[in-house]
Amino acid sequence: MQALTPVAPAIELEAIDKSFGSVHAVRGVSLRIERGSVAGIVGENGAGKSTLMSILYGLYQADGGEIRINGRAVRMDSPRDAIAHGIGMVHQHFMLVESFTVLENLVLGAEGGPLLAGGMAAARAELGRLGREYGLAIDPDALVADLSVGEQQRVEILKVLFRGARILILDEPSAVLTPQETDRLFRILATLKEHGVTVVLITHKLREILAVTDTVHVMRRGELVARRETRATGLEELAELMVGRQVRLHIDKAPLAPGEVRLRAEHLSLVDGRGVRLLDDIGLELRAGEIVGIAGVSGNGQTELLQVLAGLRPPSAGRVEVCGHAIDAAHPGDPAEMRALGVAHVPEDRLRQGMVGAFAASETSILGYHEDEPFSRNHLLDNPAVGAHCATLMQRFDVRPPAPDLRSSSFSGGNQQKLVLAREMARAPRVLLVGQPTRGVDIGAIEFIHRELVKSRDAGCAVLVVSVELDEILSLADRILVMFAGRIVGEVAGSLADERRIGLMMAGAA
């Protein structure tokens, strides 16, 4: 009987190398991923995993090495080459035109392709077929701006399938998803695998890696340090391989010793320009030496509450008292005034509200404080002082690479987050408001950020943490408030909280 010819792997990378100036981002990486499998690539922020996949997708060109797709050596000079070889990539930050419909986004960039030879009707039919086949059904005429984040991600996946992709790269796919949306994504990945699509998952969330992948490739400081069959590994081993040391997955806290009330909200409401009530009769207190966590499914008013407390939006009714200073609809505050009162704010969206991507890291490190001494003299920045300040923050908060002159957008997401946190936390604020502290952050950085938040609490700061990660809230918070439909629907002491009880409140069922 004739022996079967072995099937070539979907992806083979051989000795891939890439540097950006003095930064050696990928160091001779070789790996193979079998067809029709789900492979995870994990590593700390800055480990090189996104850079490696960007090389595969043609966004960057390797300095050395070879790429083979289905056994054939190929060149990837641009994403167009990758698409021609059946590779699609869904980025962490979606590449959709919000004012276009789903169908218009689907065909954008493929106007001259064979699927559009029969016009938009043919594209609509193909969208329907893909939706049915892969469990990705969506209204083709819906505006992207009106879709949930999970639905927008579905459109991104449909876009690459529409272009014929048989290899799908997902970069931090659940970073902006609710737990329910993440579960739906996993069901979609299972369906893609059943249809022979190869999926590469770049993520820092190890529980998700263990739940959905067949193999895991671990990168550290630009090198591939391990490959594991998922069924033969576990959380602790992967965390240690990623970081290069043992990682504490649970944070230790000193006993709670709350002090004075630093921030109080009473009957706080917010109505937008369309008359929609976003916040409804909110009341809460933040005390010195305490972490209060706000749990809830994204979109239930947490973002708006943070914006009001930070002075970004005036309340429609009610009042906020901060360190003895009252703010209400008649006397709204602003971010500068809140900073002067000792309130620091780490926004949920670091890219839109926490930094300017085109600025150097040194400039990001003083945003909002740029007119303070010693950074400003006679209304001019003292660049040496700013650079030295940034270098100190980078060392203290382990920002990599420690390069104050590097453009902020050139840092990985986790290192951008650490830079914004460093800016706000280093000034020893009286009140610290933190939105999604570890969104898109790897496990080593999560451990570090949690430890720094607890240090602020133990130093007497009043800390408010908003997170859609229920594990994070349960780990950090001394008190947990649950938001649903713009209201606080429950409060539980951190020591008495459990997932089921909080989850029922989050769903509005308790």
Domains of the chain: 11-243 (3.40.50.300), 250-342+429-510 (3.40.50.300), 348-427 (no CATH)
Residue showing tokens 């946190």: 421
pLDDT of residue 455: 94
Angle between helices 383-396 and 413-425 (to 10 degrees): 110
SS3 379: coil
pLDDT of residue 412: 79
What's the distance, CA 390 to chain centroid?
Answer: 23
Burial (0-12, 13-18, 19+ Cβ within 10 Å), 419: buried
Q: Do the Cβ atoms of 30 and 16 come closer than 8 Å?
A: yes
Listed residue (250, 221, 102, 84) closest to 166, CA to CA? 84
Q: Omega into 6 within 30° of 0, i.e. cis?
A: no
- Give the angle subtended at the CA of 189 by the CAs of 138 and 90, to the nearest 5°: 70
DSSP state of 8: P
**pLDDT (tens digit per residue) in 286-324:** 999 999 999 987 788 999 999 999 999 999 999 999 988
Say how far apart CA 275 and CA 194 lie, in whole Å.
46
DSSP string, 25-60: EEEEEEEEE-TT-EEEEEE-TTSSHHHHHHHHTTSS
User: Is the CA virtual torsion 286, 426, 204, 130 positive or negative?
Assistant: positive
Q: Within the chain, which residues score under 70 in pLDDT? A: 1-5, 110-118, 175-176, 178-180, 248-249, 440, 510
pLDDT of residue 239: 87
Residue count of the chain, please give it. Answer: 510
CB atoms closer than 10 angstroms to residue 451: 13
Phi and psi angles of residue 220, each rounded to the nearest 5 degrees, phi first? -145, 120
Q: Do the Cβ atoms of 338 and 311 come closer than 8 Å?
A: yes
DSSP string, 249-272: SS---PPP---SEEEEEEEEEEE-
Listed residue (442, 398, 400) closest to 42, CA to CA? 442
User: Would the pTM of this model clear 0.95, i.e. be above it?
Assistant: no
Q: Look up residue 502 and give its two tokens.
A: 């909080």
Q: What is the per-residue burial (b if ≥16 Cβ within 10 Å, else e) of 465-496?
A: bbbbbbebbbbbbbbbbbbbebbbbbebebee
